[in-house]
């Protein structure tokens, strides 16, 4: 079954938990699997093909998780390399690719340092969705710059300080676990500020340009999640105004080009 041919309804109804025999992937309360394709096929196709224009190249999906983006990245590109450190997540990603009969994805299972196995300037695009905040930003972006070809592009979707980071803290307060688990992790990141390049980290709209300059990238566009559109010339080389949900931006996205 090809991702291009599948109907929107069929995609939304894929039961990913059946691929791993109903086991919890990221914890019993996590809803990631159920929400994987909830936005429908056109959203994901447009995000990869139109919004980012990542087509016709060699792509690195860094911290690819359980493979949400692999069917769409692989549909429009020659090769996709998926690096994921959680073995069970990578197993699910492989089974998802088998389901869609995808042949052009190479799986590397292990720490983010596996990026060092990729030769210098051999990647056209890097996709880093909801992963940067969990790893050393300094290490990751230096390695991304190394593997990208001149003019190659990176797409990042990451936690915003006043958004998901604060949400973790609020949940910790609500559950009496302010200095435990995800809440403690978020507090650590917030205390360091958006320009700290360690781990944990977060970005906000105001810091995107400076972070990109720091690592040899030219910022093309930054926006709150879901609002990037580089097919619209008005959006290129400027920061889009944030789209607020419940008073704050949950996540921030940016696209940048290697200088």
> In the structure encoding, which two tokens stand for residue 200, read together?
């944990």
pLDDT at 29: 67
Distances (CA, A) of 250 to 24, 102, 130, 178, 245: 24, 32, 11, 19, 7
pLDDT at 106: 98
Query: Quick one: which H or E segment has residue 151?
Result: strand 148-159
Average pLDDT over residues 172-200: 96
Residue 2 — pLDDT band, cuts 50, 70, 90? confident
Residue 232 — pLDDT band, cuts 50, 70, 90? low
pLDDT in tens, 75-115: 999 999 999 999 999 999 999 999 999 999 999 999 999 99
Contact 158, 132 (CB under 8 A): yes
Average pLDDT over residues 139-159: 97
Average pLDDT over residues 53-59: 95
Distances (CA, A) of 51 to 12, 162, 232, 256: 21, 25, 9, 13
Residue 151 — pLDDT band, cuts 50, 70, 90? very high
Question: To the nearest whole percent, how much of the chain has pLDDT over 90?
Answer: 73
pLDDT at 134: 96
Q: Which parts of 9-90 are beta strand (E)?
A: 58-62, 79-84
For every residue of the chain, which 3-state class applies, written as one string?
CCCCCCCHHHHHCCCHHHHHCCCCCCCCCCCCCCCCCCCCHHHHHHHHHHHCCCCCCEEEEECCCCCCCHHHHHHHCCEEEEEECCHHHHHHHHHHHHHCCCCCEEEEECCHHHHHHCCCCCEEEEEEECCHHHCCHHHHHHHHHHHEEEEEEEEEEEEEHHHHHHHHHHHHHHCCCCCCHHHHHHHHHHHHCCCCCCCCCCECCCCHHHHHHHCCEEEEEEEECCCCCCCCHHHCCEECCCCCECCECCEEEEEEEEC
> In the structure encoding, which two tokens stand for residue 171, read together?
């949940």
Report the SS3 class of residue 184.
helix
pLDDT at 255: 93
* Residue labelled with tokens 């050393």: 136
Q: Which of 224, 212, 116 is nearest to 163 (CA)?
A: 224
Report the C-alpha gap between 159 and 130 in whole angstroms.
7
* Residue labelled with tokens 């507090």: 187
pLDDT at 228: 81
pLDDT in tens, 239-251: 444 444 344 688 9
Average pLDDT over residues 197-212: 93
Q: 226 pLDDT exceeds 90?
A: no
pLDDT in tens, 8-29: 999 999 999 888 887 777 776 6
Which residues lie across from 14 on neighbouring strands? none
pLDDT at 242: 42
């Amino acid at each position: 079954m090809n991702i291009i041919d599948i109907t929107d309804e069929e995609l939304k109804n894929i039961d990913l938990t059946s691929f791993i025999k109903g086991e919890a992937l990221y914890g019993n309360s996590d809803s990631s699997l159920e929400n994987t394709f909830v936005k429908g096929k056109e959203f994901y196709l447009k995000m990869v093909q139109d919004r980012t224009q990542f087509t016709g190249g060699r792509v690195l999906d860094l911290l690819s998780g359980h493979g949400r983006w692999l069917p769409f990245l692989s549909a429009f590109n020659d090769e996709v390399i998926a690096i994921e450190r959680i073995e069970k997540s990578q197993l699910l990603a492989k089974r998802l690719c088998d389901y869609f009969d995808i042949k052009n994805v190479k799986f590397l299972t292990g720490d983010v340092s596996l990026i060092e196995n990729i030769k210098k300037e051999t990647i056209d695009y890097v996709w880093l969705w909801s992963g940067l905040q969990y790893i050393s930003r300094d290490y990751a972006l230096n390695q991304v710059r190394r593997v990208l070809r001149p003019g190659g592009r990176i797409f990042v979707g990451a936690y915003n300080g006043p958004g998901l980071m604060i949400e973790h803290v609020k949940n910790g307060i609500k559950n009496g676990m302010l200095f435990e688990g995800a809440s403690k992790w978020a507090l650590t990141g917030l205390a360091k500020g958006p320009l700290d390049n360690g781990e944990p980290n977060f970005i906000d709209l105001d810091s995107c340009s400076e972070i990109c300059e720091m690592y040899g990238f030219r910022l093309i566009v930054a926006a709150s999640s879901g609002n990037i559109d580089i097919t619209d010339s008005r959006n290129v080389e400027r920061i889009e105004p944030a789209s607020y949900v419940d008073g704050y931006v949950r996540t921030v996205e940016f696209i940048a080009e290697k200088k």
